[in-house]
């Protein structure tokens, strides 16, 4: 059966739950993975999620900052949450879908929100940048993302806050010293990807030599005209699942919706 999974940094789920409804109406995904929900668990708009067709919700939130959630049309077989760096951030949640979802075999989805890292790419001057690199190191060392996942059907999605390829940014040369595209961040993300042999599914559909963005700054007076984007949002699949990816949509027009997030949704459909 086809299984469609969306990843989207929503930048406050309570403020933009109607945009989630709009997304559901336009793309009709089976699963929606949200980042930067900025919402404690007891304030999450569960009724609204159910009203738009997602009665099953897994949440890892906190007041005012960070937060991740998974909205699903199908029940979960398992839900887990992992902390990193011992700072209490809500930046990961994983769900497993199985027989109750009609799948032929279990499929686990890891939903991540990697720290942005501040403005200065120097760990001595910027604690936020050090936190970002430490977070990536801990995630790389975490066994659930390591070799044990290779033979399983797994997906890793989220706002990873790094644009690794030269074509993932509007200007490779000008952004080499800008947080999200520095060589040290790209190296760390590469290590995380290699730890589980994760496949960059988005680049299966859009070749690496072509530009691909999922984020445009709020600071641009006309984001579409300037088109100074970055690909900060990613969909990775385990080697066992990656060959079943059959379609991808980057909903660029969502950046022009009323009161938009600065990220746009990305949907990948698998034969699950």
Read off the pLDDT band of 147 (50, 70, 90).
Answer: low
Residue 229's φ and ψ, nearest 5 degrees, are: -100, 175
What distance in Å separates the CA atoms of residue 147 and residue 140, rounded to the nearest whole number?
11
Q: Find, among 262, 238, 263, the residue nearest to 110 by Cα.
A: 238
Query: What distances in angstroms separate CA 181 from CA 8, 20, 78, one per listed residue?
Result: 20, 28, 34
Return the pLDDT at 151: 66
Q: Is the pLDDT of residue 167 over 90?
A: yes
Return the pLDDT at 145: 83
Read off the pLDDT band of 148 (50, 70, 90).
Answer: low
Is the alpha carbon torsion for 217, 118, 237, 82 positive or negative? negative
- In the structure, how many helices (H) and strands (E) does the chain have? 7, 14
236, 198 in Cβ contact below 8 A? yes
What distance in Å separates the CA atoms of residue 71 and residue 5, rounded to the nearest whole number?
10
pTM, whole model, 2 decimals? 0.97
Residue 179's φ and ψ, nearest 5 degrees, are: -55, 130
Q: Which CATH number fits domain 2-271: 3.30.930.10, 3.60.10.10, 3.40.1370.10, 3.30.1310.10?
A: 3.60.10.10
Give residues with Cβ within 8 angstroms of 254, minimum separation 6. 19, 22, 23, 260, 261, 264, 265
Q: Find, among 54, 58, 53, the residue nearest to 72 by Cα.
A: 54
What distance in Å separates the CA atoms of residue 152 and residue 27, rounded to the nearest whole number?
27
Q: Find, among 272, 168, 185, the residue nearest to 230 by Cα.
A: 168
Q: Read off the pLDDT of residues 20-63 as tens digits, 9 standing for 90 and up.
A: 999 999 999 999 999 999 999 999 999 999 999 999 999 999 99
- Mean pLDDT, range 125-136, rounded to an integer: 98
Query: Where do the structural domains in the chain lie, given as residue ranges?
Result: 2-271
């Amino acid at each position: 059966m086809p299984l469609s999974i969306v990843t989207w940094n929503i930048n406050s789920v309570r403020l933009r739950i109607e945009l989630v409804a709009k997304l559901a109406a336009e793309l009709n995904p089976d699963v929606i993975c949200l980042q930067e929900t900025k919402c404690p668990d007891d304030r999450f708009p569960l009724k609204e999620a159910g009203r738009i067709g997602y009665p099953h919700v897994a949440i890892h939130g906190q007041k005012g900052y960070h937060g991740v959630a998974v909205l699903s049309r199908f029940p979960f077989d398992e839900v887990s949450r992992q902390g990193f760096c011992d700072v209490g951030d809500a930046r990961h949640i994983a769900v497993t879908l199985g027989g109750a979802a009609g799948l032929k075999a279990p499929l686990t989805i890891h939903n991540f929100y990697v720290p942005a890292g501040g403005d200065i790419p120097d760990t001595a001057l910027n604690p936020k940048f050090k936190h970002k690199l430490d977070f990536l190191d801990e995630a790389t060392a975490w066994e659930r993302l390591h070799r044990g996942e290779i033979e399983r059907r797994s997906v890793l999605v989220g706002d990873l806050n790094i644009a690794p390829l030269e074509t993932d940014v509007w200007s490779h040369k000008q952004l080499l010293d800008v947080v999200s595209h520095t060589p040290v961040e790209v190296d760390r993300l590469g290590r995380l990807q290699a730890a589980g042999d994760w496949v960059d599914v988005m680049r299966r559909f859009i070749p690496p030599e072509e530009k691909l963005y999922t984020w445009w700054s709020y600071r641009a007076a006309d984001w579409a005209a300037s088109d100074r984007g970055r690909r900060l949002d990613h969909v990775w699949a385990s080697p066992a699942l990656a060959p079943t990816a059959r379609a991808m949509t980057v909903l660029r027009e969502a950046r022009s919706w009323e009161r938009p997030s600065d990220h746009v949704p990305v949907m990948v459909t698998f034969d699950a």
